[in-house]
Amino acid sequence: MSITARQATAARAALGITREELAAAAKVGVRTITDFERGAREPIAATRGALQAVLEARGVEFLPDGGVRVSGAVLAALDERKGKGDAAE
């Protein structure tokens, strides 16, 4: 299954990572991700696969109905990290 722009955007937002972080991890350009998420252009299959692989490695599951699911362990870790960030402010 090939991910959609909407799924990529939702997954990135759910993980709380920036386009820059995703681009670095997937070894693609930030502009590629920006254009994909905005629907300006479709990345080649290898690029889309790299984005999907990075997001899946971080706990995202892409659903056939077009949705995304993030594992509970990942969400708990994100909540913990967010809580520590709030305490430091």
Give the pLDDT score at 87. 43
Residue-range domains of the chain with CATH: 5-88 (1.10.260.40)
* pTM: predicted TM-score of the whole model, two decimal places: 0.80
Instruction: Give pLDDT tens digits along the chain (89 positions).
Output: 789 999 999 999 999 999 999 999 999 999 999 999 999 999 999 999 999 999 999 999 999 999 999 876 555 545 555 666 544 33
Give the pLDDT score at 33. 98
In the Cβ-directed half-sphere of 60, how many Cα atoms lie within 13 Å? 23
Using CA of residue 39, residue 37, residue 11, residue 86, what is the dihedral sign? negative
Give the pLDDT score at 80. 58
